[in-house]
Amino acid sequence: MAQTEQEILAGLGEIIDEVAGVPADQVTPDKTFVDDLDIDSLSMVEIAVAAQDKFGVQIPDDHLRNLKTVQDVIDYVRRPAVTA
């Protein structure tokens, strides 16, 4: 079942809090990972792996490097699944 933006944002906030110690309420859609949230590339991998478990969406490394803001990840999770 498709999740709302709010649900994904909340889930992402939990993940980022656990992985990077950034309080979930600071995780807003406009924030950039590197500059605003001070999250480095290794933490991004952990976030991507946790997002995979939580949202059922694979985020390979080469896609991950294009996700700069929280909104980018929300959009990625919500995008229509590619059919084989």
Chain residues binding another protein by CB under 8 A are 40-42, 45-46, 48-49, 61
User: Which of residues 37 and 45 has its CB atom nearest to another protein in the complex?
Assistant: 45
Output the smallest distance, CB 49 to another protein, in A.
6
Helix ranges, the chain (H): 5-20, 41-55, 61-64, 70-78
Token couple for 61 = 């490394």
Output the smallest distance, CB 81 to another protein, in A.
21
Output the smallest distance, CB 61 to another protein, in A.
6
Which regions of 1-84 does DSSP assign to beta strands (E)?
Answer: none
